Amino acid sequence: MKKTYHIAVEGTIGVGKTSLSKLLSHSLESKLILEEFENNPFLPDFYKDPERYAFQTQLFFLLSRYKQQSEFQQMDIFNKSIVSDYMFMKDRIFASLNLNDKEMTLYDNVASILESNIIYPDLIIFLQSDTERLMYNIKKRGRKYENTINWKYIDALNQIYNEFFFRYDKSPLLIINTNDIDFVNDKNDLKEILDILQKPINGTKYYNPNKSLNL
């Protein structure tokens, strides 16, 4: 019996992971799994004082993500597909940026045990964007606890994400450059992505639309 097909949408803060996940879930008639990041009580304090609250914030995310992933891995087989707005390994991406060496050693001890029980997604969609666009999106959506996020932090996170997925080979990967598209407000942009998903993706596939070339 075929297992549930899992698509995970990934990318840096502000790139549009949740928005695309919701649209894909609706279009593909898939169950939607959203990260419960707002439940982290340490997150507002982390953005104000990263060094002091990084470890608590990261450990809470790690355990919360593990609990949620474990639950939907055991979901009933009647769900043909799942779309989520994160993959479990994203926790390690953030940890590598936010934690000092001693904290990272302790984090590794816990994360390695949990990671061994997690199944990789069947397809990952990695949304790329330049830092300026990310900062614009973050400011536009106006989440209060994100007011103190600075350009330097987002740029560093953006670089780590790009490096991680440049080497990623655990499952098929679709990399989409989002600088020149708006899949939320432009139905044609969303259709282009859906058309790509209709065909099998093996290895890594790049989608790099440039509307300026079509003018």
Q: State the average pLDDT for the chain.
A: 90
Nearest residue to 81 (alpha-carbon basis) of 70, 91, 72, 68: 72
**Is the predicted pLDDT of residue 170 greater than 50, yes or no?**
yes
Distances (CA, A) of 81 to 13, 28, 183: 25, 8, 21
Domain region containing 133? 5-39+69-88+119-210
Provide the pLDDT confidence category of residue 37 given band limits of 50, 70 and 90: confident
Which pLDDT value is given to residue 2? 42
Residue 80 lies in a domain: yes
Residue 104 lies in a domain: no
Q: Among the listed ranges 7-11, 39-43, 72-76, 90-94, which one has the minimum average pLDDT value?
A: 72-76
Q: Among the listed ranges 35-49, 54-68, 92-106, which one has the minimum average pLDDT value?
A: 35-49
Which pLDDT value is given to residue 215? 44
Rounded average pLDDT over 93-103: 96
Both tokens assigned to 71: 């639950």
Residue 61 lies in a domain: no
Provide the pLDDT confidence category of residue 208 given band limits of 50, 70 and 90: very high
- The CATH number that applies at residue 83 is 3.40.50.300
Q: d(Cα 92, Cα 90) in Å, to the nearest integer?
A: 5
Rounded average pLDDT over 9-14: 96
Q: d(Cα 17, Cα 83) in Å, to the nearest integer?
A: 11
Rounded average pLDDT over 181-199: 94
Which region holds residue 43: left if phi is over 0, alpha if psi is between -120 and 50, else beta? alpha
Q: Looking at the 3D structure of the chain, how many domains does it have?
A: 1
